[in-house]
Amino acid sequence: MYLILNIILPSNIDENNEVLLNTIMKFAHLYMLLGYFNYIADSPTKNIAFYMILKFHILSILVVLGTSSYFVSRCIDFGWDAAGQLVTMTRRNECWIPSFIPLDENPTLDQLHMVYAESFNLAQCGLMRFHLGRFRIDRENFGVGITLVILGILFWFITCYSLTLLVLNFRGNTLFQHRVRQLRRFLEAERVEKHIIVQAVNHFRYWWFRTKGINIHKLMNERVGVVFRQDLAYYFYKATIEATDTLLHGGEALQRQLVSLATQWYFLPGQVIVREMDLSPWVYIVHRGVITIKRDDSNTIILTKGSIFGQLDGNKPRPVRMTAIAENYADLLQITIKDFQDIIDNKTCEYISLNQQAKSDFMAVHKICEEDPFNTIQYILRGLTVTYHQLMIIEWLVIMFDILHCMYLISEFYTIELVVVNGQCRERPVMFRMFKNWQYYIDILSISHVAPVLLKLAIVCLTIHGITCGWIYIACHDQNFPMELPELTSDVNATIDYDEWASPLNRNGGCARVTIIFEVNGKNRLGFLVPKKQFADYIVAFMYVFVVYTHQEIDVVVALTLPEIYYKVLINYIIQPMEIWVLSVAISSVYAKYRELYSYDYNVLNLIVYLEHSGNWLPELARQAPQCLQEDIFSALYMHHLETLPLFRELPLYFRRQLVTRLQRVVIFPGTFDRHFLRLNPPDFNKVIRSSHNCFFDATE
């Protein structure tokens, strides 16, 4: 490359620039690194964002290494022989080496190493927008100044790029969690019964635990072809749909179509899935767990894996003839009655009509399907289960001292873990080994809403603490001070409290800090002090780390030796990603909390009006709840409004429960006042009326 440039340029390139150009050409292969990380990021993995962030951070390190070589060439003039061996070194100028570090006219190898370290430090400071030490941009160092500006632009690009990826990566988590809290606050503000609030929040928390907020059915419908989607769904639900086919007799083609259109739902123990006389346009297939079927408030049958219930005939919704309740944790496959009727053929309809149970809107499998123990909900939700000794109630009456009682209480607790032995789930006692497992304490913290915030704060504090301890180990254990100590003047001594500080020669170690600048023989000099007490070293080291962390231009504690300079470079590369992570957490929290404030309703022209009425709108998350849970929430909210009208008060309860879910609150602003209206769309009202007539005809028959 330099031979080509010698032909093009009017003047030849000297040996120093030739070596520098060769070094820069080696870094031109960075595109291979970028291509490799792009290749990794293109693979389907949940760590795509971290790979892309890591790519640019490694790129920044390599760019800083190449830039430091350029800075060294601007500081020292190297002489080379014909064989390309280094012969002489001559200092060009004062460079950017601090005044307390010696640099001869002809630097030694140790001094050259120090120049390399300081050049690397300068390049990193330019990249991360730190202060540049002694460096001043003038006519002679104009190229160095331009390079520092380019590094600063690269820093802002990497920071913004990484920050954006982190915010987008964590946005789904914070949005869903905020929506659950918003729903809880709204229900509490509307004075809804406590058990309804607990039921709603527990459902969505359990749904989050099982899905992490991902709608896999929607994802597969949008991005996966029909045939491949059927293959995937059939693989996941093969055992369930084969058990269901013993009732439908439709063959593998019917099985594949059913599972490809089914959506998996998750229910808590005791949660009502379908209520008798409700309009339920769904057909359910039991995938995991046990479902209890009731008619007229009495238990009828227990449904297991592969059983089916819901409206099994007709395309239009009608009131169902039974109540379905989850006996324990249950997973169901949900299909609309329209899709179900479109898939089944006349032969399958005959099998359904001949089944006596189908007249009660359910069909139970005749043979119980053996469940894979690794595929049971019990094993999926496995973890430490705390069991309480039954005799502890007696001990509570005997032990009078609270401290002794708490100690005895802890001693009587034991835990069990779920393991699979010989194809069966067995509970194995863990006893006191749970206190030796760090996951146990994480589980305790995960119960609280404040735990994620405390965990992030602990990570930042422990990281800074570790960096501080590292600085003490690197910079505060030398018995011999690495620099020549000038004699302090009387003006400087007057500013020092010698009850707290001492000369490094008197203590033989300690974290040094600089004094104020004073003149010696017309030159500015700096003195050094160390604290008298060893525990004060931590304060000095923490002050240095804090100054670096906050990018302050304060030279209170400085790096004096090569290990200290390289350690400073290392902690800068630790602090930069941590700062980006903290910023992403803050932005994600603010985005999740205030996004609805600004994108709430585009028809609201005055933001102040919205601020005055904030919280008076039911979050959309409530519409994603199961049908029975929706009826419970909306009945608690609006049933008393509906019952104020004699027209609706005389209607059956099941009719009012279904009607209340169609209500929508509308806020109208006449001037400075507002009124709240509950709106019911005519099509929804007519739909409920027609379904009620179908119910009356069905009951008459």
Please check the confidence at residue 403 and state whether its pLDDT lies above 70: no
Same domain, 354 and 393: no
Q: How far apart are CA 601 and CA 604, in angstroms?
A: 6
Burial class (CB in 10 A: 0-12, 13-18, 19+), 518: middle
323 and 631 in contact (C-beta within 8 Å)?
no
Same domain, 394 and 329: no
596 and 644 in contact (C-beta within 8 Å)?
no
- On whether residue 599 sits in a domain, the answer given is no
Same domain, 474 and 509: yes
pTM as predicted: 0.54
Q: How far apart are CA 157 and CA 295, in angstroms?
A: 65
Q: Model confidence over 34-62: pLDDT tens digits? A: 777 777 766 656 667 777 788 888 888 88
Tokens found for residue 468: 């501080």
Residues in Cβ contact with 571 at an 8 Å cutoff, skipping those fewer than 6 apart: 467, 470, 471, 545, 548
659 and 687 in contact (C-beta within 8 Å)?
no
What is the pLDDT averaged over residues 376-386?
66
Please check the confidence at residue 295 and state whether its pLDDT lies above 90: no
Tokens found for residue 580: 């980006």
- On whether residue 619 sits in a domain, the answer given is no
Please check the confidence at residue 229 and state whether its pLDDT lies above 60: yes
642 and 663 in contact (C-beta within 8 Å)?
yes
Most confident of 106-110, 283-287, 407-411, 412-416: 283-287
Looking at residue 327, which CATH number applies to its domain? 2.60.120.10
Same domain, 396 and 360: no
Tokens found for residue 411: 């001693």
Same domain, 344 and 285: yes
Tokens found for residue 437: 């497992």
Please check the confidence at residue 671 and state whether its pLDDT lies above 90: no
Burial class (CB in 10 A: 0-12, 13-18, 19+), 578: middle
Same domain, 256 and 361: yes
pLDDT on residue 44: 59
- On whether residue 49 sits in a domain, the answer given is yes
> Which amino acid is residue 566, in one-letter code?
Y
- On whether residue 178 sits in a domain, the answer given is no
Please check the confidence at residue 409 and state whether its pLDDT lies above 60: no
pLDDT on residue 67: 81
64 and 123 in contact (C-beta within 8 Å)?
yes
DSSP 428: E
Domain termination site, one of 149, 167, 185: 167
Same domain, 316 and 399: no
Q: How far apart are CA 565 and CA 559, in angstroms?
A: 5
Burial class (CB in 10 A: 0-12, 13-18, 19+), 279: buried
The residue among 689, 580, 656, 570 whose CA lies nearest residue 121 is 570
98 and 85 in contact (C-beta within 8 Å)?
no
Q: How far apart are CA 200 and CA 619, in angstroms?
A: 12
pLDDT on residue 479: 77
DSSP H/E element including 415: strand 414-421
Q: How far apart are CA 199 and CA 629, in angstroms?
A: 8
- On whether residue 594 sits in a domain, the answer given is no
Tokens found for residue 6: 């010698």
Domain termination site, one of 560, 579, 604: 560
Q: Model confidence over 103-113: pLDDT tens digits? A: 888 888 888 88
547 and 100 in contact (C-beta within 8 Å)?
no
Please check the confidence at residue 571 and state whether its pLDDT lies above 60: yes
Please check the confidence at residue 640 and state whether its pLDDT lies above 70: yes
Same domain, 99 and 71: yes
The residue among 318, 382, 332 whose CA lies nearest residue 691 is 318
Same domain, 325 and 238: yes
Higher pLDDT, 656 or 28: 656
How would residue 8 be classed by pLDDT, with cut points 50, 70 and 90? low
Percent above pLDDT 70 for the chain = 70
Q: Which residue has the tokens 């992570």?
A: 581
Structural domain range at position 278:
215-378
Poorest-confidence range of 56-65, 475-484, 614-623? 614-623
- On whether residue 246 sits in a domain, the answer given is yes
Provide φ and ψ at 503, rounded to 5°. Answer: -75, 145
Q: What sign does the CA torsion over 55, 61, 62, 66 have? A: positive
Same domain, 368 and 503: no
How would residue 292 be classed by pLDDT, with cut points 50, 70 and 90? very high
Q: Model confidence over 542-555: pLDDT tens digits? A: 888 887 777 665 56
Higher pLDDT, 536 or 131: 536
Longest dimension (CA), the chain: 115
- On whether residue 63 sits in a domain, the answer given is yes
What is the pLDDT averaged over residues 354-372?
86
Burial class (CB in 10 A: 0-12, 13-18, 19+), 546: middle
What is the pLDDT averaged over residues 128-141?
59
Round the average pLDDT of the chain to a whole number and report it: 75
Poorest-confidence range of 208-217, 462-471, 499-508? 208-217
Same domain, 250 and 369: yes
Domain termination site, one of 544, 560, 576: 560
pLDDT on residue 402: 52
Same domain, 132 and 93: yes
- On whether residue 252 sits in a domain, the answer given is yes
Total number of domains in the chain: 5
How would residue 324 be classed by pLDDT, with cut points 50, 70 and 90? very high
The residue among 303, 276, 283 whose CA lies nearest residue 292 is 303
What is the pLDDT averaged over residues 62-91?
78
